[in-house]
Amino acid sequence: MSARPPMIAILLTAAGLSAAGLSACGKTGELEQPAPLFGEHAKADYAAKKKADAEARARQEAAKKAQPRAPVVGDPTSGPMTAAPYSPTVPGSGPNPFAPGPQGSLPSPGTAPDQ
């Protein structure tokens, strides 16, 4: 009877679809300045800047490739361990962690400490 409910549904659907479509617009990484539309001097400056950036990037890549690498003999962290990866045991206790410790080291659970 009324034309409003379908029209509202259409508008909400269109708004939702356009919002979903625009949410994916975005460039990740380094942003680049677009080329100028007007002015020969501005266009020439832009081209010169792009060329200088490309040359600098090429020099960096060449420098990375020219650096000699040290020969890899082995992983320096794979040698024998000089220290235990866990904290040392309490002095006077045995290797069994569930065995009671020496007398007086820790109070027994449920007992009041001696006064």
pTM: 0.36
Reported as a single tens digit per residue, the pLDDT across 43-82 is 999 999 999 999 999 999 988 887 776 666 666 666 666 6
Residue 106: closest CA among 90, 83, 89: 90
What is the CB neighbour count within 10 angstroms for residue 43? Answer: 13
Q: What is the pLDDT of residue 31?
A: 76
Half-sphere exposure of residue 65: CA atoms within 13 angstroms, side-chain side: 6
